[in-house]
Amino acid sequence: MATPFRIPGREPLFGARGWSAIAAFLAAVTVLVPLLFLAVPESSPFHLSAYAVTLVGKIMCYCAVAVAMNLIWGYTGILSLGHGAFFALGGYAFGMYLMRMIGREGQYQSELPDFMVFLDWKAYPWYWSFTDHFWYALALVVLVPGVLAFVFGFFAFRSRIRGVYFSIITQALTFALMLLFFRNDTGFGGNNGFTDFKRILDYRVSEPSTRAFLFALSGVYLAGCLVLTRAIVRSRFGRVLTAIRDSESRLMFSGYNPLWYKLSVWTLSAVLCGIAGALYVPQVGIINPGEMSPANSIEVAIWVAVGGRGTLLGPVIGAAVVNGAKSFFTQSFPEYWLFFLGALFVAVTLFLPRGIAGWVNRHKESGS
């Protein structure tokens, strides 16, 4: 008997009632974890350490990146190998504000960041103007990756570059940006990047209450990304995106111009990554050009593939599983982490071509 057609975005991974369970779980995490971190004494076995809160907060930011990647790859069929660049640009945009907030608390007790004093800079470059204003920094977090993605995507999609060629040029983009940010004369800290942050607004970054708030904000943002993605893929706009993925030529023959659909979702995906990067930086405490490495962007694609691209919750599962394993292996068996990652990707490709979510769906269908 043929499997009935399902509208993309309505995958039965958890079913209709499962969304209420997911919402309740995210709400519990964003409330319970800060409580266990702030209210429970350190002597208690239920106390969560600052390391655990930072780790889970970082993973939630990665999950948001995976959701953004799935929007462009899973539902539109455009494989990007440069999403790490948008993530890092959002982190750098907010990192500029965090560096300005250090003030004279740096090693050299200067208004300029330590790396600028070390390089004998006398003043901030022009593109650092107004970065000491919080709301301007937030605008940069959205505009920098958004404008870059729009300009890059416009010329790429207008030229009808697709498939592996598009993937290659996105990887070339992130590699070029990484080399640019590695340079000391660009004013972004060179190899070391930005670190040693002191405060956000008037709150110290190292304070437990600030860490708990950033954690909760990351959980809320991840939930918002999921809700937004679900709304998009269930709409008419989302059906056009899946038509682009399945047969772009047929869609064009039907009278649609895929350029603006692709450009819109591409730009939105980049902005979502940039905001995730801005949440990531104050929690982890550092941003450097290594975040733009092509390997990091490839890892994002692996997260989505492992979880199940073209499903709403699969990328979240994939990002959580891979990064949880990465945290364990890099601590216990650091020399074997890359071997494990390669083996995981090969195993998923051979035995779980639709990822973890596809495997769950198949077993639910066979049992029903």
DSSP 102-128: TGGGSTT--SS-HHHHHTT--S--GGG
Which residue matches tokens 């980049």? 270
Q: Which two tokens stand for residue 133?
A: 């204003």
Q: What is the pLDDT of residue 19?
A: 62
Q: What is the pLDDT of residue 368?
A: 52
Q: What is the pLDDT of residue 5?
A: 37
CA distance 289 to 312: 30
CA distance 153 to 323: 29
Q: 110 and 117 in contact (C-beta within 8 Å)? A: yes
- Candidates 148, 170, 275, 176; CA nearest to 220 is 275
DSSP state of 184: G
CA distance 227 to 106: 41
Q: What is the pLDDT of residue 150?
A: 98
Name 204's bridge partners: 199
Sign of the dihedral defined by the CA atoms of residues 124, 126, 132, 137, in that order: negative
Distances (CA, A) of 66 to 63, 74, 100: 5, 10, 30
Phi and psi angles of residue 203, each rounded to the nearest 5 degrees, phi first:
-110, 130
CA distance 195 to 31: 28
Q: What is the pLDDT of residue 6?
A: 43
pTM (2 d.p.):
0.92
DSSP state of 193: -
Which residue matches tokens 């050299």? 108
CA distance 146 to 86: 8
CA distance 149 to 338: 30
pLDDT by residue for the chain (368 residues), tens digit each?
Answer: 333 334 444 454 555 455 666 667 777 778 888 888 888 888 888 888 899 999 999 999 999 999 999 999 999 999 999 999 999 999 999 999 999 999 888 778 888 898 999 888 989 999 999 999 999 999 999 999 999 999 999 999 999 998 999 999 999 999 999 999 999 989 999 999 999 999 999 899 999 999 999 999 999 999 999 999 999 999 999 999 999 999 898 999 888 999 999 999 999 999 999 999 999 999 999 999 999 999 999 999 999 999 999 888 899 999 999 999 888 888 888 888 888 888 888 888 788 888 888 787 777 666 65
Would you kindly state where each structural domain of the chain is located, as residue ranges?
Answer: 53-293
Residue 38: in which H helix or E strand, if any? helix 18-38
